[in-house]
Structure 1
């Protein structure tokens, strides 16, 4: 995916504010999430209640906030951001999320956390990619929402297999002991940031670690959710 400087990444039309990356028309046309469970983000009949799946097996986080289903055009944009050297897309994707978050916050759909933490990558992956793609998004969200961001509070202690290559029933075991916490989170309301939530195994492992360490609540923030 290539774009001209000053053009929308999605429709390639010229932008009045070139740094925005996506024009207002494309923003309005992004696929919205259907009526979903407030915990797992999967379709249900009531978006203000936990679904039967979450009542039986609740995740370690209390609220999931996602902008769009994991489908075009954001799926292609996220893939391009992660696997091609285009770190400038961090601003674009962070802006997509923050506009969605602010709309819901003003309507009292969710509350503001006290601290932001991002899902970390292993140093080997960072070296291969050249930058920390989730941390870059976290820094923008921290500045725009005025929420402290702890970049190194959550660390990945071993290089796990890529989750996308594994079957669902192997994804949780792949992450056993993958993260460690370096600071105190006792009594804090925390949001964990990732780009996409698929099975939720990565987010579950990180959130469970925070809750066991004394965090009061955990929100899961993702740009997209696989439905």
Structure 2
């Protein structure tokens, strides 16, 4: 019976005492966490809610939380989760993100949002992949934190070219009119968290955040697995 319920680390395959964690403490320590700006995620020597980068190009959201840099072994896990149809990694990655949220709450006063919103995929891309990785993460976090997950509030209505390799300006142009928020008035939440996988320039998140501001959302957090 004990062999049947044996759990292994998703990275190094070593035995786990707590199977729900999905990843051993040794592999967790190898993830490149860093001190970052609470606004844009830029590396800093000490935490600040805003940095010089934010003042030059202020993001449309208020706070950011990430697990760490987009580097191995975290990048390898995300790649498997996102491109190799290993959707069952959602729980392991969601738990790592939850720990990052708790750490931000403990170390610099992050408050929990009233709702969680996953960044959407264009419907054809989601059909190809079989799932929206951000939605899988958001639903698990919603259940653990007992915060509503609004999966269908934001829709991606424009098929855009991949953002990889584009300049910040090209990314913004590529995403123009790509999203709509399916809520006209009376939006009941003043604070939300947008959940995404990898955050690069933040162009996608900015486009969504701007529309949420028009609904009267006062605080927008961004929760991501990694910052590239």
TM-score (norm 1): 0.91
1 CA distance for matches of 2:165 and 2:14?
Answer: 36
Q: Deviations over 1:23-75 (max 9, x none)?
A: 123223322123x2221111234422411221232111011111101111111
| 3-state SS of 1:193 partner | strand
2 CA distance for matches of 1:61 and 1:223?
Answer: 17
> 1:154 deviation in Å?
0.6
Q: Deviations over 1:123-165 (max 9, x none)?
A: 1011110112110110000011111110000110111111114
> 1:100 deviation in Å?
1.9
Unaligned stretches of 5+ residues in structure 1: none
Partner of 2:192: 190
1 CA distance for matches of 2:109 and 2:163?
Answer: 30
1 CA distance for matches of 2:130 and 2:189?
Answer: 35
Partner of 1:214: 216
Q: Deviations over 1:77-129 (max 9, x none)?
A: 10111111211011111011112212332345311100100100011011110
1:170 aligns with 2:167: no
> 1:11 deviation in Å?
1.7
Partner of 1:29: 30
1 CA distance for matches of 2:87 and 2:125?
Answer: 15
Unaligned stretches of 5+ residues in structure 2: 1-5
| 3-state SS of 2:142 partner | helix
2 CA distance for matches of 1:185 and 1:44?
Answer: 35
**Aligned residue-pair number:** 221
Native 8 Å contact 1:186 1:216 kept in 2: no
Among 199, 208, 211, the residue aligned to 2:201: 199
TM-score (norm 2): 0.91
2 CA distance for matches of 1:110 and 1:77?
Answer: 26
Alignment RMSD, CA only?
1.7
- Once the two structures are overlaid, the 10-residue window that deviates more, 202-211 or 49-58, is 49-58
1 CA distance for matches of 2:182 and 2:169?
Answer: 29
- 4+ residue segments displaced more than 4 Å: none
1:1-227 map, 5 Å: 6-34=7-35, 36-183=36-183, 184-185=186-187, 188-226=190-228
